[in-house]
Amino acid sequence: MTVSGVWFNLVRCGDCDFVQGDVLDEQTGETIYRPIAVMVREAEIEDIAGLWPDITGHPVKGEEEACLVSYLSSRKGSEVELIIPERYRARPCAWNRFDETKEIRIYRDHIYPEIVNAIEAIEGTAVQQKTNLHPSCPAGTDEPAPRLPRRLLDMGCGCGDLIETCSMHIPDLECYGVDINADNIQAAKEKKNANIMEGDCEDLESVLPGDLRFDIIICCGLLNKQVISRDTAGIIFEKAAGRLQERGHIIVTGYTACHLTAKDLSRMGIDVLRKSIPENLFKSYLEYHLRQFYVGRKR
């Protein structure tokens, strides 16, 4: 069965893709939001791109939809992924100080706390592995010992609010930040943040010393569709991954849709540990709910 709609997203779990979005009712000509409208196998993102897409698959109705929503919402963030097609493209714009934008409240209230929680979880896992003497890595193997995160890079750090938040909750972190906007850099330095550098994350090698490596790199809003192109997102991510320590972690999230998917991260040498916040995937799009949240570890 072919379903038409104004916009569609994919919710991916295992070998199944579930399509959500505003679905067109052929009888009334009106649209209605469906958390899950169609189930398909191995859908290509290009199949549902655009503002008026069509998709062919198994229609989901009634109790079946409610059961699937409940099931997927209860899964782990490592099992479920939200993939949003290329409906809009980034437009050139003059970036002002980030702490003066309307989005800053959403980042401070919703996104930064999730990032801090993720870093604390990474640190907690490393501590636990050390406490347990890393039993999965017996003596004589080449498996590296667990590494406590001590150096962090915030790419596209804005006015340093995320660095300030991380430093407050995890005081042992040595934090660095890079941003292309001079006003942001000035604001970040006024917050007494050390290691703040002005420069283009696409040209990271000219901004950071060549031997500087990080345990955690954060791309918060930087790799999103309304900010840069997909090609540029790939370039920046690849350069970020090159600055990670062995088995270092990278976090990708933000207010708008991420360009890169779990498949993209895996192709660039990252084991994806987390993809989303499943309990938020089916909440109303009329309100803000953080959905995409990637955490990966360098191989």
Q: Provide the pLDDT for residue 139.
A: 47
- Tokens found for residue 271: 């084991």
User: Measured in whole angstroms, how far is the alpha carbon of residue 93 from the centre of its chain?
Assistant: 22
- Tokens found for residue 78: 């490592």
Residue 43 banded pLDDT, cuts 50, 70, 90: confident
pTM: 0.92
Instruction: Give the phi and the psi of residue 255 in degrees, each rounded to 5.
Output: -70, -40
- Ordered by start, the domain boundaries in the chain are 2-74, 98-298
Q: Provide the pLDDT for residue 62.
A: 86
Fold classification of 98-298 is Rossmann fold (3.40.50)
Conformation bin of residue 96: beta by default, left when phi > 0, alpha when psi is -120 to 50: beta
Instruction: For residues 31-41, give the mean pLDDT.
Output: 93
Name the DSSP letter for residue 122: H
- Tokens found for residue 247: 């088995």
Q: Going by DSSP bridges, is the β-strand pair 80-83/2-13 parallel, antiparallel, or unpaired?
A: antiparallel
pLDDT at 32 over 80: yes
Q: Which range (29-33, 38-42, 141-145, 189-193) has the least confidence? A: 141-145
Strand partners, 218: 154, 251
> pLDDT tens across 215-272, in order?
999 999 999 988 899 999 999 999 999 999 999 999 999 999 999 999 999 999 999 9
Dihedral angle of Cα 255, 259, 263, 264, to the nearest 10 degrees: -120
pLDDT at 8 over 90: yes
Q: Are 40 and 49 in contact (CB under 8 A)?
A: no
* Residue 48 to residue 55: CA distance in whole angstroms: 6
* Residue 86 to residue 125: CA distance in whole angstroms: 35
